[in-house]
Amino acid sequence: MSRVKFSDLEKIYRCVRFEHDGRSGSLTLSDKEMVDLVTNLISDDNAEDSGLSLKNVQPGDLHEGKIIDLFIEKPRTGLGILALNFDALLKNTGCCFEEKNNFHLIEENFHSKSLIIPPSIVKYRTLLSFIKILKEASAYFDKDKGEFVFIDSGRFSLPVKYLSEDIENAQTVFLDKIKSSLEDGMHLEQKLAILGKSVVNLVKNTSPDNRFEYLLANLESLQNSFSDGYNIFVSDFSYEKIRDQLEAAKVEYTGKIHKAITDIQNQILGIPVATVIVATQMKKSTDFGYEFWVNVAVLIGCWIFSLLVGLMVWNQKHTLETLSDEIERQDEKMKKEYKGIASNFQKIFSALTKRIKWQKKILWIV
């Protein structure tokens, strides 16, 4: 006998004429494939996993065309969920905040892989998408308790509890608007913080167990609060302000880049002077007399000077590399925080990068 798969059970569920309680029903064995499928699912090896058993008929009596009655219990949890209706599905652990891979709703005659999706499931999936966003907007999500935790003058909990009726009455179009606002990527962290605060302010005067239901009943208020909060935030933000900040940063970084050369320019300018001095101070010597030791002292001084200049050049090169990393970090930050307009300011970062490369070439020549 082959192991039970939920896809096998789904073939049975779609064909069964369920009783009102969903715990039994009749099935027509339309062909040999259906006979073999039922035989496998009710076998001793699989009956406990499938939750299926025969009612008033023996396994040996199964044949094509026969109508049989079945007892239908819930399958093993790991396979999937069989629920009488949408409300019954939501009572299963975790179904309020994540969609299970396999489930079948008896009254709705819907299964998780159906291509035709009823409006209630469309809204359900929209809500689950919003719950994913709330996981980012909250301090954390306690999966075991099924609740969000926000920090608002202390710990603030938002248990995820609701019924199918709450979803059906919810104006999920406002959730789509919130999601659309977040998808542009601009000020994402600030928007999530504003959303979290809007959620807390909306439901804080409601008892914990009723907070999520109240949230679903007031999605328009949530979206308005979120929109107003963001408008207040952007009132302190403008294109000109960002450009002015970047231009000021450009001047600052340009000064730092130039300083990498100006800090050692006296030493660099001293190189040709030192060369002339060394050349004029060297005396012809035929023995180890006074002229010889003068020449040795001059050479030692020359090497010490060269070593010190080399160390200063290496230090300034390291400074330029640090500046290059910082400029790159600022560039990435700009692309993340101001995604929609970041391309307008790329010339500033490109100019700084070229200037650093040019200064590195000068140091290499030195």
Would you say 17 and 64 are in contact if contact means Cβ atoms under 8 Å apart?
A: no
Q: What is the pLDDT of residue 200?
A: 95
Structure tokens at 4: 């039970």
CA–CA dist 279, 363 (Å, integer): 25
Mean pLDDT, residues 186-212 taken together: 93
Q: What is the pLDDT of residue 242?
A: 73
Domain boundaries, the chain: 6-111, 119-234, 239-365
> Looking at 81-85, 300-304, 337-341, which range is the least confident one?
337-341
Phi, psi (deg, nearest 5) at residue 338: -125, 55
Contact 233, 194 (CB under 8 A): yes
Phi, psi of 6 (to 5 degrees): -65, -30
**320 or 276, which is more confident:** 320
Q: Per residue in 240-273, pLDDT tens?
A: 677 777 778 777 877 777 676 666 655 555 556 5
**What is the pTM for the complete model shown?**
0.64
Q: Are strands 103-105 and 110-111 parallel, antiparallel or unpaired?
A: antiparallel
% of the chain exceeding 90 in pLDDT: 54
How far from the centroid of its chain's Cα atoms is residue 345's Cα? Answer: 26
DSSP 124: H
Q: Is the pLDDT of residue 160 over 70?
A: yes
Going by C-alpha positions, the residue among 102, 105, 83, 104 that lies closest to residue 92 is 83
pLDDT over 90 (residue 70): yes
| Model pLDDT for residues 103-156, shown as the tens digit of each residue | 999 999 999 999 899 999 999 999 999 999 999 999 999 999 999 999 988 899
Residue 278 reports pLDDT greater than 60: no
Q: Which has the closest alpha carbon to 323: 276, 297, 360?
A: 360
Return the pLDDT at 82: 96
Beta strands in the chain (DSSP E): 17-18, 24-28, 52-55, 67-72, 81-83, 103-105, 110-111, 140-142, 147-151, 155-159
In the predicted structure, residue 183 carries a pLDDT above the cut 70 = yes
The fold for domain 6-111 equals: Alpha-Beta Plaits (3.30.70)
In contact, 243 and 193? CB cutoff 8 Å: no
Residue 285 in this model has a pLDDT that exceeds 90? no
Residue range 222-244: mean pLDDT, rounded: 78
pLDDT, average across residues 197-222: 96
pLDDT of residue 269: 56
Q: 289-306 burial, b if ≥16 CB within 10 A, otherwise e?
A: eeeeeebeebeeebeeee
* Mean model confidence pLDDT for the chain: 85
Q: pLDDT higher for 180 or 325? A: 180
pLDDT digits (tens, 9 = 90+) for 51-62: 999 998 898 889
- With pLDDT > 70 as the criterion, what percentage of the chain qualifies? 82
Asked if 188 and 232 count as a contact pair (C-beta separation under 8 A), the reply is no
CA-nearest of 47, 60, 54, 64 to 26 is 54
